[in-house]
Amino acid sequence: MTSRTINAKNMHYTPLNKRIKELVKTGVQEIVLENVLGQRFIANGLRGKVTIHIHGVPGGDLGMFMSGPTCIVHGNCEHAPGNTMAKGKIAIHGSAGDAVAHSMRGGKIFVRDNIGYRGGIHMKEYGDNPAVLIVGGLAQAFLGEYMAGGKIIVLGSGSDRAVDGREIGSGIHGGEIIVRGDVDEKQLGVGAITEDFGKEDLDAIKPLILEFCESFSLDPKQYLDTKYTRIVPASSRPFAGKYTWE
Amino acid sequence: MSLGSIPMRYRVKIDREQCMECMRCIDNCSYGVFREENGKIHIDSRNCTVCHRCISMCPRDAIDLHERPVDYRSHPLWTPEAREDIINQARGGKIILSGMGNAKPYPVIFDRLVLDACQVTNPSIDPLREPMELRTYIGKKPKQLHITKNEAGDLELETELSPNLKLDTPIMIGHMSYGAISLNAQLSLAKAAAKVGTYMGTGEGGLHEHLHPYQNNMIVQVASGRFGVDIDYLERGAAIEIKIGQGAKPGIGGHLPGEKVCADISCTRMIPQGSDAISPAPHHDIYSIEDLAQLVRSLKEATNWEKPVFVKIAAVHNTAAIAAGIARSSADAVVIDGFRGGTGAAPKVFRDNVGIPIEAAIASVDQKLHDQGIRNKLSVIASGGIRNSADIAKAIALGADAVYIGTAALVSMGCRVCGNCYRGLCPWGIATQREDLVQRLDPEIESEHVANLINSWTLELSEIMGAAGINSIESLRSNRSRLRGYMLDEGTLEVLEVKPVGA
Ligand code: SF4
Ligand code: SF4
């Protein structure tokens, strides 16, 4: 496997991304970015099979519109990693800010620790590659707001409340939010309801949990039971019946 | 007790002596006004939407159509509309949905502005024998040019130029999505744009592969739902437009109901078939002007800074300040959509009451950008209620670089502005996905009509310019001394920075 390292110290994001695109074009399969400090838009709109190791803290919109590559962040992330992403994977060895996976259509985002507000907002799915967001730690309010498809899983490690905030799934009209432990009725947003989480549900998410744990060398056993709450849309047509004709 | 029925809005009649019973009205009306019983045509006037399809297809001019055949007690405040809306809402407790643009009789500023022409002191120009420059470039212009002489003595441009769109006419076709309108309607518009050397917008509905041949004339839209947006889509567009707001419904989002999301639309929007396509009111990654700048840069970064990025906003009270913020965001153009802008569906209360007229918005934006010395950083595109070439000339004189037309382009394909687009039964094959109706629209023929319209307006524009002694559209832009206000109040004249007639 051909690998290249870029020292991103004091580098503006545009030349950095240009360099990444050039390397990918020449068939490099692994790129290591050292000393990343707040550069936005890394791997933005990038295609291909490359794996990018990011050491440091990337700025906002990491992997926006990305279609294929894998980004492994050895550190925390700013807001909206995986914004409108189509394919590929982002694994964050740390926490991420607000609006993680915003409008993401496909691919996977794994966050080892916590995420901020509005995680998975307006997430979607299309074809056989539904968007997946898995959070190892906690998520804040407005999780899965306006969700239109895909899967959000919050494991809540180290806490008995994976999501403490309110308005979970407000306006949700597709997809599902799976939260470890209990969720209070009053934490749900308009249009969201809870459903029992059964054995088949566990079977359905098991491969994802295994993949997540493998990414961060965690023991999956602790997550392989049915102590989850499943949040789904009350209706796939939240606005039907709201209008009359002129 | 029942509220009873409200009086019928339109009465359709057939002059039985004229009628040859060809039954074309039955075939053409998708709203089910006509039916055949025992060889006779029966009429249910209540279903009529005044789309005029039957009238235009009747070979004998046998159809009569009248609005409000039943009168109410006349009252200046309690109009029939006010009364009927209340009855409608008392019945169901719902929001009233409406189509097309603002339908309230606000005064039209365009109609109270008159254009200038030369007499004696400076000669007018005859466009027949003098070249008229209507070419328009949309995008950032450098503040100054740095030119050096190389060793061979040739001049070389040192200044790096930003990407611009090159238009052969200042008229573009605004964003109407696949979903809101049919694929044949989009194809007609795209072919027309390519023919006349201009651009059209995709709307927030993705880019169907049948439109790929015209992608060099298409501006791809990124709206709050991010439907159909991926890197491939962004790369195909000649420019990218971020839609923040729309003149017909400022401040709210939109949604395409699941029943309209058929296989083809599901594939361009990239959502499952039959699922609602909901565009939230805000972009959830934009809560400030800095966030907007971030999205602009993100789109540029994804496309290697090769494409102009536009930002579309609805004309509202503080549009000028917002535009000044947009000018500092790396965006190349601002699109301002006035409160008369059309739409497939909007809550009536928004369509008729929210926003400001495009004329005032352009003038204040243009002035603000000039005052701050940043007019060159942003092109201004005006849209919302442009009806003819005079409106375009006035919009440009008020400060626009170019205009988007929407409704006018649809009218050139048959639309009669009946305002029932949201019902999905458009008998002209425009605002519908019903295959038999869509087939009524032939992109070869309709693109010709749309192109004819743009060509005629372009011709008229050069005549208007010639009469004013102007031979380049650049000299008309922001040239408010060539306008006068007729019966406009002092406050409006001040905002427009236009003198009254006679002054
Ligand atoms: S709806 Fe249209 S086609 Fe039908 S009767 Fe009315 S005008 Fe004619
Ligand atoms: S597009 Fe069709 S439905 Fe809409 S206003 Fe025009 S004729 Fe009526």
Based on its alpha-carbon atoms, the radius of gyration of chain A, rounded to whole angstroms, reads: 18
Summarised one tens digit per residue, pLDDT across range A169-204 is 999 999 999 999 999 999 999 999 999 999 999 999
Residues of chain B with pLDDT under 70: 1
| Chain A residue nearest residue B259, CA to CA | A237
Summarised one tens digit per residue, pLDDT across range B282-336 is 999 899 999 999 999 999 999 999 999 999 999 999 999 999 999 999 999 999 9
Q: Considering the entire predicted model, what is its pTM?
A: 0.95
Summarised one tens digit per residue, pLDDT across range B210-251 is 999 999 999 999 999 999 999 999 999 999 999 999 999 999
Q: Is B304 on the interface with A (CB under 8 A)?
A: yes
pLDDT at residue A164, as a whole number: 87
Given a contact cutoff of 8 angstroms between Cβ atoms, the answer to whether A62 and A71 are in contact is yes
Q: At what angle do helices B358-371 and B319-327 cross, to 10 degrees?
A: 50
Rounded to whole angstroms, the Cα distance separating A178 from B179 reads 32
Q: Which of B242, B186, B234 is nearest to B211 (CA)?
A: B186
Q: Which of B286, B301, B303, B348 is the best substitution to test chain A (most A C-beta atoms within 10 A)?
A: B301
Residue A236 has pLDDT above 80, yes or no: no
Q: Is A51 on the interface with B (CB under 8 A)?
A: no
Residue A239 has pLDDT above 80, yes or no: no
Residue A22 has pLDDT above 70, yes or no: yes
pLDDT at residue B1, as a whole number: 63
Summarised one tens digit per residue, pLDDT across range A112-149 is 999 999 999 999 999 888 999 999 999 999 999 999 99
Q: Is the CB of B495 under 6 A from ligand 1?
A: no
pLDDT at residue B450, as a whole number: 98
pLDDT at residue B246, as a whole number: 95
Outline where DSSP puts E strands in B44-170.
63-67, 95-98, 113-115, 136-138, 147-149, 155-157, 165-167
Q: Which of B48, B84, B226 is the best substitution to test chain A (most A C-beta atoms within 10 A)?
A: B226
Given a contact cutoff of 8 angstroms between Cβ atoms, the answer to whether B301 and B346 are in contact is no
Q: Whose CA is nearest to atom 2 of ligand 1?
A: B51
Q: At what angle do helices B389-398 and B358-371 cross, to 10 degrees?
A: 30
pLDDT at residue B398, as a whole number: 98
Predicted complex ipTM: 0.94
Question: B55: how many CB neighbours lie within 10 A of its CB?
Answer: 17
pLDDT at residue B6, as a whole number: 92
Confidence of residue A240 (pLDDT cuts 50, 70, 90): confident
Residue A102 has pLDDT above 80, yes or no: yes
CA distance A218 to chain B (A): 32
